């Protein structure tokens, strides 16, 4: 392992902005590389977007093995190794594996976002990482000795040897690194979801049912407890105002969704009616290409550098892969800019390919009538090939492996 001490003889220290997915994983991986870090999270502890869930792909599970944290995801979620597709008319279009299967049979899992955040953060804290809450990054600058000073909204400052922006799709760090950096791109579907109770659905746990409804996309999976976890993507051509979405009441959302799925041959309306609690929707974004990921001792990783549409099912896994690959580079190149350059060489092509794949899938959810007919004709052919194992076209996404011990060239 390289010497991780500065010329002053102390350990290198990283300031990590964001305690979502990439932030805590980066802290744990850096610790393993002999680099100290502190996580600065804008929100207070526990404010973790409780309403949503995500599917965690097998490559993300495998990446967590580099820091011995792969047990955290199965402990919080349930296996969802299959996806089946149908059209709004009830036509079965096919069934495919939902992500890959690791050599030890581990498969993708579905879990609540808040639980993933909490599990990763708690594990980082358990391993001795310091997390400071209520620290919203406002500004940062490099210091003459090559380090970094940050300023937070509460008026406090922090200094370190490098800064890792793991602050999500609307990253402040991205803009500090490059004031001309791209903004997130609106994807023309909304997102909303929930957890339905006491509804009888003829579906076994483990299969995500995806429905290309006549007017909107609907997905659901039965949790082993019997609860039905669902999401919907109402198409929406123009980007909605944040205030407009925030002003919609649960009853307005319910009415909108029931209107969209009424007449489709799916249990969507029954599931939506059986969902207690509040419903709230949000707009969907991705970030196709951010030309500048790093400047001096500052870098962005995870969604801050390359957010993908939710439909790729890869955002959290990519954030984890990023964090671990970056820690390997910093371990093997004590010169931070060299480490950042090596990191970008290892990551850029893969993540941009995934973002492009996610955008294609999202567009198919908002297909017009002619595209819908073509999709319903072609999809069974593709899905049949994929299901038979003859189609390895997505292997590049799921078979990605990180060897922690291998030295970065």
Ligand X SMILES: Cc1cc2nc3c(=O)[nH]c(=O)nc-3n(C[C@H](O)[C@H](O)[C@H](O)COP(=O)(O)OP(=O)(O)OC[C@H]3O[C@@H](n4cnc5c(N)ncnc54)[C@H](O)[C@@H]3O)c2cc1C
Residues in the site for ligand X, rule: CB under 6 A? 17-23, 40-43, 52, 54-56, 135-137, 166-168, 172, 191, 302-304, 310, 313-317, 319
Beta strands in 61-154 (DSSP E): 78-79, 82-87, 92-97, 109-112, 130-132, 137-142, 148-152
* Minimum distance of ligand X from residue 46's CB (angstroms): 12
* CB-nearer residue toward ligand X: 54 or 376: 54
Q: How far is the CB of 263 from ligand X (least distance, A)?
A: 26
Containing 73, the helix (H) or strand (E) segment is helix 72-76
Give CA 382 to chain center in angstroms. 26
**Nearest CB to ligand X, comparing residues 160 and 168:** 168
Task: Write down the least CB distance from residue 41 to ligand X, Å.
Answer: 5
- Name the minimum Å distance from CB 358 to ligand X: 9
Beta strands in 145-184 (DSSP E): 148-152, 157-160, 162-165
The span from the CA of 189 to the CA of 397, in Å, is 24
Count the Cβ atoms, other than its own, within 10 Å of residue 235. 15
Least distance between ligand X and beta carbon 47 (Å): 8
337 three-state secondary structure: helix
| ∠ Cα 369 375 377 (to 5°) | 110
The residue among 12 and 121 lying less far from ligand X, judged by its C-beta, is 121
Q: Residue 385 or residue 394: which is nearer to ligand X going by CB?
A: 394
Q: Which is nearer to ligand X, 25 or 199 (CB)?
A: 25
> Tokens 């059986």 appear where?
274
Residue with smaller CB distance to ligand X, 19 or 376:
19
Q: Which long-range CB contacts under 8 A does 120-127 form with residues at least 24 apart? A: 120/21, 120/24, 120/25, 120/69, 120/72, 121/19, 121/24, 121/39, 123/24, 123/28, 123/69, 123/72, 124/24, 124/27, 124/28, 124/39, 127/28, 127/31
Rounded to the nearest whole angstrom, what is the least distance from the CB of residue 292 to ligand X in the complex?
17
- Beta carbons within 8 Å of 90's beta carbon, 6+ residues apart: 265, 266
CB of 141 to ligand X, least distance (A): 15
The nearer residue to ligand X, 293 or 376, going by C-beta atoms, is 293
CB of 17 to ligand X, least distance (A): 5
Q: Which of 56, 400 has the CB closer to ligand X?
A: 56
Please compute, for residue 65, the number of CA atoms within 13 A of its CA located in the half-sphere on the CB side. Answer: 16
∠ Cα 288 289 290 (to 5°) = 135
Question: Which residues are CB-neighbours of 99 under 8 A, at least 6 positions away?
Answer: 55, 57, 58, 59, 81, 107, 108, 313, 398
Cβ 348 to ligand X shortest distance, Å: 16
Q: How far apart are CA 99 and CA 334, in angstroms?
A: 36
- Looking at the Cβ atoms of 4 and 55, the one nearer to ligand X is 55
């Amino acid at each position: 392992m390289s010497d991780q001490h500065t010329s002053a003889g102390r350990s290198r220290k990283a300031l990590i902005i964001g305690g979502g997915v990439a932030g805590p994983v980066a802290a744990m991986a850096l610790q393993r590389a002999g680099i100290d870090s502190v996580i600065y999270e804008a929100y207070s502890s526990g404010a973790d977007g409780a309403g949503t869930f995500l599917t965690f792909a097998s490559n993300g599970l495998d990446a967590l093995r580099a820091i011995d944290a792969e047990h955290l995801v199965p402990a919080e979620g349930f296996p969802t190794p299959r996806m089946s597709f149908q059209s709004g008319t009830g036509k079965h279009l096919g069934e495919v594996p939902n992500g890959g299967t690791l050599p030890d049979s581990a498969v993708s899992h579905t879990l609540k976002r808040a639980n993933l955040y909490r599990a990763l953060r708690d594990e980082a804290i358990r391993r001795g990482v310091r997390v400071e809450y209520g620290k919203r990054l406002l500004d940062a600058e490099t210091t003459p000795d090559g380090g970094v000073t940050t300023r937070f909204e509460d008026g406090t400052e922090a200094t370190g040897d490098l800064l890792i922006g793991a602050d999500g799709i609307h990253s402040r760090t991205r803009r500090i690194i490059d004031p001309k950096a791209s903004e997130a791109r609106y994807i023309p579907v909304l997102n909303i979801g929930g957890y339905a109770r006491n509804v009888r659905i003829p579906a076994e746990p483990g299969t995500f049912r995806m429905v290309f409804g006549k007017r909107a996309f609907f997905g659901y999976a039965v949790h082993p407890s019997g609860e039905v976890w669902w999401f919907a993507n109402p198409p929406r051509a123009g980007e909605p105002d944040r205030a407009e979405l925030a002003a919609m009441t649960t009853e307005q959302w319910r009415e909108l969704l029931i209107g969209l799925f009424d007449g489709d041959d799916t249990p969507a309306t029954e599931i939506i009616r059986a969902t207690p609690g509040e419903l709230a929707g949000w707009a969907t974004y991705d970030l196709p290409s951010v030309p500048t990921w790093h400047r001096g001792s500052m870098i962005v990783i995870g969604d801050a550098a390359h957010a993908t549409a939710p439909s790729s099912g890869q955002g959290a896994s990519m954030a984890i892969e990023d964090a671990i690959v970056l820690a390997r580079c910093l371990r093997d190149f004590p010169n931070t800019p060299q480490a950042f350059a090596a990191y970008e060489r290892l990551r850029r092509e893969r993540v941009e390919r995934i973002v492009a794949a996610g955008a294609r899938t999202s567009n198919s959810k908002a297909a017009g009538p002619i595209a819908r007919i073509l999709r319903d004709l072609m999809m069974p052919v593709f899905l049949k090939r994929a299901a038979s194992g003859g189609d390895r076209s997505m292997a590049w996404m799921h078979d990605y492996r990180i060897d922690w011990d291998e030295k970065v060239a």
